[in-house]
Structures are given as structure tokens and as C-alpha cells.
């Protein structure tokens, strides 16, 4: 078993770290405060290949492996969780299904712009009544000649207000339950009947837009069906498995940032005539944070390795997402405790880490759903 990174993996990790420290971290607080979409950072991430890491170069991507994806996601998210989730959605939720299930023509037309960083993508799945239970979705797609007519509203769509393209899940056969769900590629800028609805005011990841996608007799070309009718649910499950690796990586970045801030503060903050890092109570908190983050990172790298090598990774991705997100939330709370009153003030980034960490326990499948996924696999395999 070899834990050494390859030269390519070390290269992208170093590149992402330097970029994040130089270009993202200095503006992270401003992005959070103003809720501004970081268009200039997204453009630079695109130029560096970070929005299409695992997509082959022939489709505009960087042609690297899933370990590279995890390593770079951690570094970007450590600087700014909002930038991290924008990157994750493009890679995991948009690029992956278009590359895996799309035709050659679809890949050239709809994958290349996002993988190369020319545009952003999103994934239209969640609805007001269909979150953890996607089979209850109400958005419909009805064939009409050589077009599909779409009606419905998607909620909580990351990148929804800034994306050019969307992979959209819709019901094409109401009588077939989850087997009647299909996936479509939608050019949001050129679809009559589409509009962006409300953009959510959120607790955290404030520089990442979370929007409604509203379709009212929206028409898309017939050839924009992704795969075959009725395959959408199966495509969705596979896409979300990979997406959980991305969110685990985002959570790790947030947790690492919280640990680094706590270590730095504990070395300089003095009480009773000495740095608080000398006190065993603080040392144990830091030791537990470091240990749990390392454990979560190993789980995440294992899931990424399994995906890269074509192995099953549903359970492993769920485990990684579960532990990484719970650890990030706990580490941020402990970080606030270590900083005391300063941890509760916006003068320090720790309170932002705590707010950003919470969503990682919710999206890409709540941690309650992760436990169900893991338990189902454990019971089946024994």
C-alpha cells in the first residue's frame, strides 16, 4: 500500500494551494460579507483546469485523476468554501453525467465549455417536495415534435443563478415512479420559458448562489435528452456518489482551515502568563481535530481511488462524506471555543468556517441518508 502522491498529484496540490493562498484567501471575508459571486476567481480556476480536472483534454478538461480532484478541492475550500462548492458542482454534478452518459455531440457542445472554464454548470434535481426523496419530483418533460416541453420549479440549485448549462432531472412517465425520471442538458441562456427565480439568503457559503430554476412551457431540443428515457434516476444515483466525494473534500478544506486558525491563535493568545497552547485542555482539542481530519481525509482518498479505478464506491463515498462533514462541523465548533469571544466575532474567520461547515452535513444527501446508504450496503454484504 503506497501513500505517496505521484508527481502530478503533488503538482496540482501545490498549484491549488498557492493559487488559493494568493488569489482566494485574501478576499474570502469580503465575498462572504457581500454575497458576491467570485466571477474573477472562477475564470482563473477555469484557466488552471480546476473546473474540469478529471475530464479528458479532448473535451476541454485537465485529464487528471480523482485524487487530484480531492487534493485541489481541499486547498480551494480551505481558502473559501463558496469557491470550493462552485468547483465541486462543475466537476461532480455537471461534468460527470455529461461525460459519462452524453453522446459525442453532446460532449463537444455542452461539456467542453464547462470543463475548460468558459462557463459554469449546475445540476437541477431538488424540488420543494423532493429532496432526500427524488422520486417525488414534479417537474415534467413532455415530448412535442422534435422538442421537449418542461414545466416545474427546482429549488436550492447551487450555481443556478450564474450557470450557462444545467443537467436537469424531470419526469417523462408519471406512471413509472422513479423509473419514469429522465435527464436532460439545458442551455439556460437559450431556453424560452426558463427564468431564474429567487436566490436564497443563507447561513453560509454566501458567495455561492443557491437559486430557483423556473420552467414554464420551456422548450429544449429533442437531442438534449441525456441517455435514454427513464434512465435519469440511475444516472442521478451515480452522479451523487461522485458528488459526495467532492463535498467530503470541501468539508475537509473547511476543517483544515479551522484547525490551522486554532493552532495559530493558541500559540499567540496568552492567559495566566503563557500561550494557551501550553494547556492540556487546548492540546487535546487540537489533537482530536487533527486525528479526525486525517481519518476523514483517508476515507475520502480511498473513495476517490475506487472511483478512479472503476470500483464500486457508493458506500465509501457516503462514509467519506459523513465523517468529513461531521468532523468539519465539530472542528469548527471546537475552533470557536478555542478562540473564545474572538471566535464569535467576524474579526476572525472561525465563525465563517462554522457557518460554512453546516451545509456539508445537508447537501449531496443529508448525513441521515448517508447512514441509510452505508447501513444498506453493510447489511447486504454480510
Query: Looking at residue 262, which CATH number applies to its domain?
Result: 1.20.140.10
**How confident is the model over 21-34, as a mean pLDDT?**
98
Do 264 and 365 fall into the same domain? yes
Q: What is the average per-residue pLDDT within 278-298?
A: 98
Q: Is 278 exposed, middle or buried (0-12, 13-18, 19+ CB in 10 A)?
A: middle
22 DSSP 8-state letter: I
Mean pLDDT of the 191-201 span: 97
**118 belongs to the catalytic site:** no
Within 8 A by CB and 6+ apart from 7, the residues are: none
For 65-96, write each residue's pLDDT tens digit.
999 999 999 999 999 999 999 999 999 999 99
What is the tally of structural domains in the chain? 3
Average pLDDT of the chain is 97
Q: Give phi and psi for 80, each to the nearest 5.
A: -160, 115
Q: Are 87 and 148 within one domain?
A: no
* Of 367, 335, 375, residue with least CA distance to 244: 367
- Domain span at residue 325 reads 234-380
**Given 91, 120, 149, which residue is the final one in a domain?**
120
| Residue 132: pLDDT band with limits 50, 70, 90 | confident
The catalytically annotated residue of 21, 201, 364, 368 is 364
Q: Is 138 a member of any domain?
A: yes
Instruction: Please check whether residues 77 and 138 belong to one and the same domain.
Output: no
* CA torsion through residues 92, 93, 94, 98, sign: positive
Q: Are 86 and 39 in contact (CB under 8 A)?
A: no
pLDDT of residue 207: 98
| Whether pLDDT at 366 is above 80 | yes
Is 2 inside any structural domain?
no
CATH code of 93's domain: 1.10.540.10
- Is residue 243 located within the same domain as residue 374? yes
Closest Cα partner for 338 from 354, 327, 314?
A: 354
Average pLDDT over residues 119-137: 91
Amino acid at each position: 500500500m503506497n501513500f505517496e502522491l505521484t508527481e502530478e498529484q503533488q503538482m496540482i496540490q501545490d498549484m491549488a494551494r498557492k493559487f488559493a493562498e494568493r488569489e482566494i484567501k485574501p478576499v474570502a471575508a469580503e465575498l462572504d460579507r457581500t454575497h458576491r459571486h467570485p466571477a474573477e476567481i472562477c475564470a482563473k480556476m477555469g484557466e488552471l483546469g480546476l473546473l474540469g480536472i478529471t475530464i479528458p483534454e479532448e473535451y476541454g478538461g485537465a485529464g487528471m485523476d480523482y485524487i487530484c480532484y480531492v487534493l485541489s478541492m481541499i486547498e480551494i475550500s480551505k481558502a473559501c468554501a463558496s469557491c470550493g462548492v462552485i468547483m465541486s458542482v462543475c466537476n461532480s454534478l455537471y461534468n460527470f453525467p455529461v461525460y459519462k452518459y452524453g453522446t459525442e455531440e453532446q460532449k463537444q457542445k455542452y461539456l467542453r465549455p464547462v470543463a475548460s472554464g468558459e462557463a459554469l454548470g449546475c445540476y437541477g434535481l431538488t424540488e420543494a417536495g423532493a429532496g432526500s426523496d427524488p422520486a417525488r419530483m414534479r417537474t415534467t418533460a413532455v415530448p412535442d415534435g422534435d422538442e421537449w416541453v418542461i414545466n416545474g420549479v427546482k429549488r436550492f440549485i447551487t450555481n443556478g443563478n450564474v450557470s450557462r448549462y444545467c443537467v436537469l432531472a424531470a419526469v417523462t412517465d408519471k406512471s413509472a415512479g422513479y423509473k419514469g425520471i429522465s435527464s436532460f442538458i439545458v442551455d439556460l441562456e437559450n431556453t424560452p420559458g426558463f427564468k431564474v427565480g429567487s436566490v436564497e439568503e443563507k447561513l453560509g457559503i454566501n458567495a455561492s448562489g443557491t437559486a430557483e430554476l423556473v420552467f414554464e412551457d420551456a422548450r429544449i431540443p429533442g437531442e438534449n435528452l441525456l441517455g435514454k428515457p427513464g434512465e435519469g434516476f440511475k444516472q442521478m444515483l451515480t452522479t451523487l456518489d461522485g458528488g459526495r466525494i467532492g463535498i467530503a473534500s470541501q468539508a475537509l478544506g473547511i476543517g483544515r482551515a479551522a484547525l490551522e486558525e486554532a493552532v495559530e491563535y493558541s500559540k499567540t493568545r496568552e492567559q495566566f502568563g503563557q500561550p494557551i497552547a501550553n494547556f492540556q485542555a487546548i492540546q487535546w482539542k487540537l489533537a482530536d481535530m487533527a486525528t479526525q481530519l486525517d481519518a476523514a481525509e483517508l476515507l475520502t482518498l480511498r473513495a476517490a481511488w475506487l472511483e478512479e479505478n472503476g470500483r464500486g464506491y457508493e458506500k465509501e463515498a457516503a462514509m467519506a462524506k459523513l465523517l468529513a462533514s461531521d468532523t468539519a462541523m465539530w472542528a469548527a465548533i471546537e475552533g470557536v471555543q478555542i478562540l473564545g469571544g474572538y471566535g464569535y466575532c467576524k474579526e476572525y474567520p472561525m465563525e465563517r468556517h462554522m457557518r460554512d461547515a453546516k451545509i456539508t452535513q445537508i447537501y449531496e444527501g443529508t448525513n441521515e441518508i448517508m447512514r441509510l446508504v452505508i447501513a444498506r450496503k453493510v447489511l447486504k454484504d454480510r
